[in-house]
Amino acid sequence: MSSFAIIALFLILGRWAAEFWLTRLNERYVLAHASEVPPAFRDIIDEPTYRRSVDYTLAKSRFGNIADAFDTLLLIVVLFSGVLPRAFDVWTGQFGASVGSMAAFLFAIGVALSIPGLPFDWHAQFKLEERFGFNTTTMKIWLLDRVKGLLLAALLGYPLLALVLKVIEWTGAHWWLWAWGIMVMFQLLLMLIAPALIMPLFNKFTPLPDGGLRERLFALAKRTGFPTRSIDLMDGSKRSRHSNAFFTGFGRFRKIVLFDTLVAQLTEPELEAVLAHEIGHYKKRHVLKLLSVSITGSLVAFAAIAWLARQEWFYRAFGFEFHSNFSAAAIVPALLLFALLSGALSFWLTPIINIWSRRFEYEADAFARQTMGEPQSLIGALRKLNQKNLSNLMPHPLYSGFHYSHPALLERERALVNGL
């Protein structure tokens, strides 16, 4: 095993060990506060519901540890057993090394690596979520979702891969800039078409019925200068009793979406406050800022892949032959290996991203408070959402830093009350 392969193995195991330690730390912290409802939450949640939230948190955590251990073991086997270069050689021997063949190889590897995770997905939905009363999905819907996802990946992902690989062959040394540009354009196109063409494949969207709530929410959108043509109800209840709200798309395709479960759980003032929070993200340009980070990150990633694609030691470390040209067959191993290895590095950047994301949440909360003229409507909504979703009310601060893109309930309440 080469020096770099050993380093890569330690990075993968280091990420797994850190994640395992964080989850165990969080479990102990939750258990330390499990005997009774902490004083800060006694006017928010009753004892039986709090106990169920503790059980739900621990069940998800323990199952997550098992799934993560399996994923890590699978990744190690795939990277270091030699199966990838053998599969690559067999594929090119059977189907050649054309752009179309190489795109199909990447797609096939992606599908193959997703299959072992299906039993875990099934267990999470039909055992864990079912046990705590959240699952409303049927086996038919679950299977159809995966078939639709596979077909979408084939219809959108394969042509995209083929285009990127063709551009690599056309543009030579600067291929990574062109490939990055294509990915950015695809990302923007997806944001444009997803609300109208993709999301309806999985959920039913119906206009919010006429009445007081619709009038209230459209008045809020007008008052805050949020351009929208539609406020839709999404049938989230056909899959889960969890609830959410969001806005999606841009330009004339922008629309506000409320889960039907959310509308059933909250009062009209609380729903207005939740929508004001979502509008706050728009008014503070959080989506554009996050998009800029994503675009910059993808540029760095393509630059890294381009550099690695010129390093013979990188290819040799995982059993691939090195070719110093810009053919699709020469670049595909670097693309594949980077995709598999990147998680071991990006994990350590998560707290930085979460700090930024939490700041956005505070800003959106402050906007909602200012728009509503009082904090209680949003506080009431947040309390109900945490209660109904059995959220972990006592996450360990270090675990929260790695896993929570939103501040904990008490932190948000404190900021809302103090006008921070």
Active-site residue list? 278, 365
Q: Which residues of 370-389 are buried (b: 16+ CB within 10 A; e: fewer)?
A: ebbeebebbbbbbbbbbbbb
Cβ atoms of residues 47 and 37 within 8 Å: yes
Quick one: which of 370, 192, 363, 366 has its CA closest to 285? 363
CA distance 106 to 101: 9
Q: Which residues of 114-145 are buried (b: 16+ CB within 10 A; e: fewer)?
A: eeeeeebeeebbeebbeebebbbbeeeebeeb
> Which ranges constitute the DSSP H helices of 81-138?
83-95, 99-114, 118-123, 129-131
Q: Which phi and psi (to 5°) does residue 234 adopt?
A: -110, 135
Q: Which residues of 244-263 are buried (b: 16+ CB within 10 A; e: fewer)?
A: ebebbbbeebbbbbbbbbbb
Distances (CA, A) of 307 to 49, 167, 400: 53, 17, 34
**Which residues, 6 or more positions from 379, have their beta carbon under 8 angstroms from its beta carbon?**
413, 416, 417
CA triple 25-30-32, angle to 5 deg: 95
| Amino acid making up residue 220 | L
| Amino acid making up residue 244 | N
CA triple 122-123-127, angle to 5 deg: 120
Quick one: which of 30, 23, 20, 22 has its CA closest to 395? 30
Distances (CA, A) of 218 to 208, 228, 237, 409: 10, 9, 24, 28
CA distance 180 to 183: 5
Cβ atoms of residues 196 and 253 within 8 Å: yes
